[in-house]
A and B are shown apart, each in its own frame.
Chain A
């Protein structure tokens, strides 16, 4: 592909998240525009720390297989690179290899061959410890400084790569598919545009919009195509029923971001405060004026999570108004009684946390409405060192809540309505994010090894 000789690069993104599915007819409409690459992100910290902590993936294997097969077929037809970033959600080495295995399985079934580039993003904890010692690691936002004990406790630590590892992976001209570990979401799209010689500021901005698929459209959609040229780019959803408007595209960078116009990433900060948005057709918007400040140091974001004990819960309904009016004091009494019963277990070794839906289950102390509803759902969460202990504490709290006396009680057979068995529900291991820091690096590529493989 001699993209550098083109005056335009076209990138197709079928969905904001691999594994969520997308309409094939919209992918087809996109392929008719002769894109130079297909990019799709798979990463997010949004659904929780259990991916990094326990090696889970965001979507089921079945869901990934379904999307991958469609995209591999499109890659074969169009003969353009398919770039998949942040494999499995956390982008750990484990999930890069899991995606590699899925691609191999599909290839075997269909008799396909691919040249695959894998980019890994797990960072050796010993390396991080040395860099911490050297003062090259800082918290990102309202995060405590990195404690070496927290680093040691993390199951795995990944770092978000920038565009450079993708550029390196694409050096051989015959790479069909790139599967990367954790990457800054816009990086694959930005890399394709930077590789073709276009302005990095526009490349990052277009990538930033496209990594969410057609979330920038009205109504919000899945598939999107971007056209990047010398001094602007254009963006259009592939579903004919959706449109991009200047308002929808300009407002998109508000979503999930700390600041609407200043977007920090590996290798610099994108500044959108001087952008211009023009409606060039009913469904297409042109963007110009994006700026990119490379900054003084190249930093990458580290992400890690640890396991934090085991959890069990019980779920209970309450309908009696005499009970509901005293719910806080009743729960205080139940928790105190449970703690007394488990007096031989150190108090700090377990936690009992009530969630009271119908009162303040969603907002907690920030709940502005102080009067509880006529019916409550009470979920009591217990976290302890083992599943057995969590379930035992949970069971004691549940039976106490069921039978405890309270002032004015006239329903003497039981206080709560239990919907499910098991009455105590084991939830498995809990996880916590404990590494979310910036690390200064000398090379944007050295920590992200690239491996090639012929899949047949």
Chain B
């Protein structure tokens, strides 16, 4: 079966970012079905190394990284680039830091 590189924004049901307290940011990728989730998980594209590159954090600083089968979701929690709401804040709720994830390309079965 041929596959085409497809961005996560065309695959996932939810790709979002949000504060998890004032010192952490958490990223969720939730899939429409177990099948879609499994394809993405099996692809091996989403790794700690990729997240480290996209968010400029050392892999050892990543607080949570995992594929969670029970909820068909990937969850990643990182230290916040700055403490929430201080001088220099750009995103109080960290609600718009998910875009690099949307653009991750997964080899997807051609339809």
Point out residues on A near B: beta carbons under 8 Å: 45-50, 140-143, 247, 250-251, 254-261, 273, 275, 308-309, 311, 351, 353, 355, 361-366, 368, 381, 383, 430-433, 436
Interchain Cβ contacts within 8 Å, total number: 127
CA distance in complex: A273, B63 (Å): 18
- State the Cβ distance, B40 to closest chain A Cβ, in Å: 16
Point out residues on B near A: beta carbons under 8 Å: 14, 18-24, 26, 28, 30, 54-56, 61, 63-64, 66, 68, 70-73, 75, 77, 79-81, 83-88, 90-93, 96-97, 99-100, 103
| Contact A361 to B90, CB < 8 A, known contacts A141-B23, A142-B79, A433-B85 | yes
Jot down 21 A-B pairs with beta carbons below 8 A, ordered by A. Answer: A48-B92, A49-B22, A50-B85, A140-B23, A141-B21, A141-B24, A143-B23, A255-B28, A258-B20, A258-B21, A258-B24, A259-B64, A355-B90, A366-B56, A366-B97, A368-B54, A430-B86, A431-B85, A433-B22, A433-B83, A436-B22
CA distance in complex: A432, B93 (Å): 14
Please, which residues of chain B bring their CB within 8 A of the CB of A366?
54-56, 81, 97, 100
Residue in chain B with minimal CB distance to A47: B92
Please, which residues of chain B bring their CB within 8 A of the CB of A362?
90-91, 96-97
CA distance in complex: A140, B26 (Å): 15
Are A308 and B24 within 8 A (Cβ)? no
Q: Which 3 A-B pairs have the closest CB atoms?
A: A48-B85, A142-B79, A432-B86
CA distance in complex: A273, B68 (Å): 9
Residue in A140, A255, A258, A351 whose beta carbon sits within 8 Å of that of B88 in the complex: A351
Please, which residues of chain A bring their CB within 8 A of the CB of B21?
45, 140-141, 258, 436
Are A247 and B87 within 8 A (Cβ)? no
Are B87 and A430 within 8 A (Cβ)? yes
Are B88 and A141 within 8 A (Cβ)? no
Residue in A45, A47, A260 whose beta carbon sits within 8 Å of that of B71 in the complex: A260
CA distance in complex: A59, B70 (Å): 36
- Please give 13 more A-B residue pairs, beta carbons under 8 A apart, in addition to A46-B19, A141-B79, A259-B77: A46-B92, A50-B85, A140-B21, A251-B71, A258-B24, A259-B75, A308-B87, A351-B88, A363-B96, A366-B55, A368-B54, A383-B87, A430-B87
Are A432 and B85 within 8 A (Cβ)? yes
Are B23 and A250 within 8 A (Cβ)? no
CA distance in complex: A47, B77 (Å): 19
